[in-house]
Amino acid sequence: MALGDSYTIGEGVGPKDTYPEQLRALLSVEKIKLAEPLIIARTGWTTDELSAGIDDAEIAGQTYALVTLLIGVNNQYRGRAVEDYAREFEQLLDRAIAFAGGREERVFVLSIPDWGVTPFAEEREVDRQAVAAAIDAYNAQKRAICAEKGVHFTDITETYRQIGAEVPSLVSDKLHPSALVYARWAKA
């Protein structure tokens, strides 16, 4: 199961190029076979919208071998309070753990990539330092909650800050990552 937003569905890339599908392919090479992931994600979703999307999927009580969670960029983009994000993220993480049958070791959380490094942000004359600071604050909350609950936290933010503005790292909208970036996330 993969929960999130446009970064989870792979806005601008083909279905096999998303990080959930690339992760599944990598695990398959390691002889870990997983079914096609159930992806509950939409472009633009915030934490509360993801929660509603999970409710709409009517999957309460189902369990999955592996659950990934990447959410928060749209909370930051819309200027929502970090404290509200932390509360809503923790609720989502509890749901993710439940979907993993209560096995925290089967839940993987990815940090929020810094969209402020992209040409999309540059074209809109976004204050990149303000975006970076806000994303760092969101990720600090996310990391702390994951540590408290014993869940894997994978930092993709720092690497993305280094490569997120490069043409091969982006799709045509100059905002979302390319298949090459998703491959790095899957490997991480």
Q: What is the pLDDT of residue 111?
A: 98
User: CA-to-CA distance for 142 and 138, rounded, in angstroms?
Assistant: 6
Ordered by where they begin, the domains of the chain are: 2-187 (3.40.50.1110)
Show pLDDT as tens, one digit a residue, over the chain (188 residues): 999 999 999 999 999 999 999 999 999 999 999 999 999 999 999 999 999 999 999 999 999 999 999 999 999 999 999 999 999 999 999 999 999 999 999 999 999 999 999 999 999 999 999 999 999 999 999 999 999 999 999 999 999 999 999 999 999 999 999 999 999 999 99
C-beta neighbour count of 23 within 10 angstroms: 22
Q: How much is the pTM? A: 0.96
